[in-house]
Amino acid sequence: MQVFTHEAFLECYTWDPAAAPGRIEAILEEIRGEHTLVDARAAEHGDIAAIHTPGHIQDVRHEGLYNIASLAAGATIQAATLGLQEPAFALVRPPGHHASAEHAWGFCFFNNMAIALDHLKRAGKIQAAYVLDFDLHYGDGTVNILKPRGYVTIHNPQGSDRKYYLDDVSGNLAAAKVDMIAVSAGFDNHREDWGGLLLTEDYGAMGRMVREASQRLGCGCFAVLEGGYNHRVLGEAVRAFLRGLEGKEGA
């Protein structure tokens, strides 16, 4: 699988858990050698401006974060574009699913997922998309931006029981009728992270669910990193998810 990332994502661009040193390194340590790492390219201003207001873009520039945020958005566009043919992953930071058109919070600045799907839609590459956002936190920015546009179904699974949670993911994917499945892949609901619910193997199971749904529909799929803050288990969880997305068993 091709993984779109960049050495700039290793830098500490601000002070928050998503920017903490070692986060991307923990993932690379687990997946390097299994996947092809591809340098990210920054998103074009037009792609960002199609989603975010001029005022918000200016705020991000003022904070000195435009370059890193546009690089994350660009990597997600690359993953989404390749995802039309084969599964792909954007290994990025900052994350994006709490970024709305005119404001952002939760360690996010530009909405990587919304920018990528809108890029495909405006290019006539997709007609309908399904977003599985399994981050611990509700992806309010993605909902605020994409739900009113009418071509995206967004599912943020919930539940305090692993089996119920995975059944919820499976059942919703089974009902999808789209030409792109996109995953906001947050790993902070791991049993040893903030959420304390899922096991590493559960992320592998969700990866396989996405792959199976994609094959059933004959559609594309891709994912982008969102949360996940316990570096000790983060890499293992990402590795399990990517192996599942490739149809492989085990972590």
Residue 183 pLDDT exceeds 90:
yes
Per-residue confidence (pLDDT) for residue 49, from 0 to 100: 98
pLDDT tens by residue, 17-73:
999 999 999 999 999 999 999 999 999 999 999 999 999 999 999 999 999 999 999
- Indicate if the pLDDT at residue 2 is higher than 80: yes
Tell me what the mean pLDDT of segment 125-137 comes to: 98
Domain extent listing, the chain: 2-245
CA distances, 155 to each of 101, 172, 202, 248 (Å):
19, 8, 17, 24
- Which is the catalytic residue, given 56, 98, 119, 190? 98
The dihedrals phi and psi of 161, each to the nearest 5 degrees, come to -125, 130
User: CA-to-CA distance for 143 and 53, rounded, in angstroms?
Assistant: 16
97 as an active site residue: the answer is no
Model pLDDT, residue 164: 97
- State the Cα–Cα distance between residues 169 and 151, nearest whole angstrom: 20
Residue 147: the pLDDT is 97
Whether pTM > 0.75 for this model: the answer is: yes
pLDDT at position 251 is: 56
List the beta bridge partners of residue 39: 5
Domain at 2-245: CATH code: 3.40.800.20
Percentage, residues of the chain above pLDDT 70: 99
Task: State the pLDDT confidence band at 134, using cuts at 50, 70 and 90.
Answer: very high
Q: How would you label 84-118 residue by residue, b for 16+ Cβ within 10 Å and e otherwise? A: beebbbbbbbbbbbbbbbeebebbbbbbbbbbbbb
